């Protein structure tokens, strides 16, 4: 199977079963992918983030049970992405039991059950230039763009094979030449106040994902003090609607200190984003009627900083009783806000903090009548297909004011081009 791939002595030892049946099983899959993608060699990874940590059918369990039977063990730090349910809350259902079985099978291999779509919130982060095997779309954009680490969108089961062997085919974003920007995105026509608002970046990402067709964008004339939360939202919007693996923001992201650093060649096409482009993206995510039923925040999972912003915007006000308020985060972040007292503050004002899963799939949201409000372009984009509910996207401040009022509160003037 390795006719196209140059293997190290260590790779060959794995391939020949000298390190055990599980690594051999994983290596066979890796080499199949390497040959299919015409990779010249395998490279070592520093960490893995596994996407298949939910129950999608018996086939999922059979693969994992096979790996457990082979006594597979990961050899790099490996974390699990979101599950299908909140596993930290005991439930009596077949779905709950099956999701637990999947997670337990991964834990048997040494994976950490962080159960988050935002592994970049955890303590141990890859550095610029590190190869990793991450397999969650927003995390891939964040790793490549914000951290400067290197990963493709590692497919389900390829991710665990990489974690077991510590190796991955060197193609795509692992190669320096493929990480250069191929199109310039000029933000100079947009109102400056938009560039400092959380609601802008998911919409910009949505617009870029739809229109880039896999190009790697270089953003110029942007906010030089943009937060990592905003960059995360930008990447999530891109990944939600498109297949672009990374982006550059000149003067901000690690591989784009100057335009010359990150462009594939001189004379790239320049696209000027207009206010109407952003408003059109916003209109795409404005669905349903004006009957507000629930507010869902934290897709991707809420950061500690976002909890602090939410608390400040609430200013001690509770959300309306008729509004169901859900915030998704990971166990690590929940522990941080619990220790600081922030968890009690937020829950005391009417929000429920959910871990392990995301509210735009599964049964976490429950039955709702009316429209769900969210500050996540991803949640609003997927809601109808995943849950059959209508959703509307607004920025964080609008979400908070709406939740408190129990009705939509929109700052239409903010989105004027003037």
The pLDDT value recorded for residue 287 is 87
What confidence category does residue 1 fall into, taking pLDDT thresholds of 50, 70 and 90?
A: very low
Per-residue pLDDT for 174 more than 80?
Answer: yes
88 pLDDT tier (thresholds 50, 70, 90): confident
Give first-to-last CA distance, the chain, whole Å: 61
Tens digit of each residue's pLDDT (9 = 90 or more) over 145-172:
999 999 999 999 999 999 999 999 999 9
Report the candidate in 108, 85, 82, 111 with the shortest Cα–Cα distance to residue 97: 85
Share of the chain above pLDDT 90, in %: 93
**274 shares its domain with 298:** no
* Full DSSP string of 243-294: -----EETTTSTT-SSHHHHBSSSS--EEE--HHHHHHHHHHTB-S-S-EEE
Kindly report, residue by residue over 14-65, the tens digit of the pLDDT. 999 999 999 999 999 999 999 999 999 999 999 999 999 999 999 999 999 9
Is residue 187 located within the same domain as residue 172?
Answer: no
Confidence band for 207, pLDDT divided at 50, 70 and 90: very high
- Whether 90 shows a pLDDT value over 90: the answer reads no
| pLDDT at position 3 | 63
Q: Crossing angle of helices 21-36/58-69, nearest 10°?
A: 130
Average pLDDT value for the chain: 96
317 and 220 together in one domain: no
- Residue 405 within a domain: yes
Q: What is the CATH number of the domain that holds 378?
A: 3.30.499.10
Tell me, yes or no, whether 3 lies in a domain.
no
Q: pTM of the predicted model, to two decimals?
A: 0.95
Residue 309 lies in a domain: yes
User: Strand (E) positions, 255-389?
Assistant: 270-272, 292-297, 324-328, 351-354, 371-374
Least reliable range by pLDDT among 178-182, 383-387, 393-397? 383-387
Provide the pLDDT for residue 288. Answer: 77
The answer on 108 and 172 residing in a single domain is yes
Give the tens place of pLDDT for each residue, 309-330: 999 999 999 999 999 999 999 9
Query: Is pLDDT at 201 greater than 90 in this prediction?
Result: yes
Number of domains in the chain: 3
Residues 87 and 62 in one domain: yes
Look at residue 2 and tell me if it is in a domain. no
Q: How far apart are CA 113 and CA 227, in angstroms?
A: 27
Q: Are residues 406 and 313 in the same domain?
A: yes
Q: Which domain holds residue 351?
A: 285-415
Structural domain contains residue 251: yes
Q: Quick check: 384 pLDDT over 50? A: yes
DSSP string computed for 107-153: HHTT-B----S-GGGSS--PPTT-B-EE-SHHHHHHIIIII--B---
CB 304 within 8 A of CB 336: yes
110 and 214 within one domain: no
Q: Are residues 243 and 359 in the same domain?
A: no
pLDDT tens profile 242-282: 999 999 999 999 999 999 999 999 999 999 999 999 999 99
- Shared domain for 272 and 332, answered yes or no, is no
Give the domain-ending residue among 151, 176, 201: 176
Same structural domain, 188 and 160 = no
- 121 lies in the same domain as 225: no
Query: Does a structural domain hold residue 1?
Result: no
End position of a domain, from candidates 176, 198, 228: 176
Query: Whose CA is closest to 218, among 248, 259, 195?
Result: 248
CA dihedral of 337, 338, 343, 347, whole degrees rounded to 10: 160
For residue 153, is it within any domain?
yes
Q: Is the pLDDT of residue 237 over 80?
A: yes
pLDDT in tens, 259-268: 999 999 999 9
Q: Are residues 227 and 316 located together in one domain of the fold?
A: no
Among 158, 134, 131, 196, smallest CA distance to 32 is for: 158
- Domain assignment present for residue 4? The answer is no
Which of 148, 176, 204 marks a domain boundary?
Answer: 176
Q: Is the pLDDT of residue 418 over 80?
A: no
pLDDT at 290: 83
């Amino acid at each position: 199977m390795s006719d196209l791939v140059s293997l190290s002595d260590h790779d060959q030892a794995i391939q020949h079963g000298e390190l055990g049946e599980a690594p051999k099983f994983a290596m066979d899959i890796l080499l199949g992918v390497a040959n299919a993608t015409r990779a010249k060699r395998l490279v070592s990874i520093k960490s893995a983030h596994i996407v298949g940590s939910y129950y999608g059918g018996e086939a999922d369990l059979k693969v994992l049970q096979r790996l457990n039977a082979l006594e597979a063990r990961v050899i790099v730090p490996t974390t699990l992405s979101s599950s299908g349910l909140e596993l930290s809350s005991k439930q009596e259902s077949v779905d709950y039991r099956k999701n637990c079985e999947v997670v337990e099978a991964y834990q048997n291999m040494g994976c950490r059950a962080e159960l988050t779509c935002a592994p970049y919130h955890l303590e141990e982060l890859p550095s610029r230039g590190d190869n990793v095997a991450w397999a969650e779309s927003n995390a891939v954009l964040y790793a490549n763009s914000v951290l400067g680490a290197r990963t493709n969108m590692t497919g389900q089961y390829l991710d665990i094979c990489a974690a077991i062997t510590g190796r991955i085919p060197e193609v795509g974003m692992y190669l320096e030449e493929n990480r250069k920007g191929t199109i310039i995105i000029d933000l100079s026509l947009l109102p400056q106040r938009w560039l400092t608002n959380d609601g802008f970046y998911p919409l910009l990402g949505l617009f870029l994902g739809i229109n880039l067709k896999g190009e790697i964008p270089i953003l110029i004339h942007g906010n030089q003090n943009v937060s990592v939360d905003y960059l995360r939202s930008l990447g999530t919007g891109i990944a939600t609607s498109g297949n672009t693996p990374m982006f550059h923001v000149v003067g901000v992201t690690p591989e784009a200190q100057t335009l010359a650093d990150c462009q594939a060649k001189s004379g790239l096409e320049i696209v000027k984003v207009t206010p109407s482009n952003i408003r059109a993206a916003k209109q795409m995510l404005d669905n349903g009627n004006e009957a507000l039923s629930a507010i869902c925040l934290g897709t991707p999972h809420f950061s500690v900083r976002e909890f602090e912003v939410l608390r400040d915007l609430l200013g001690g006000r509770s959300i309306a009783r008729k509004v169901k308020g859900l915030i998704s985060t990971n166990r690590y972040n929940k522990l941080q806000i619990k220790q600081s007292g922030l968890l009690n503050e937020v829950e005391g004002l009417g929000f429920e903090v959910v871990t392990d899963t995301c509210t735009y799939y599964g049964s976490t949201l429950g039955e709702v009548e009316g429209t769900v409000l969210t500050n996540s372009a991803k949640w609003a984009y997927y809601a109808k297909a995943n849950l059959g509910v209508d959703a509307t996207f607004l920025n964080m401040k609008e979400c908070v004011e709406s939740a408190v009022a129990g009705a939509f509160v929109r700052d239409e003037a903010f989105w004027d081009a003037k």
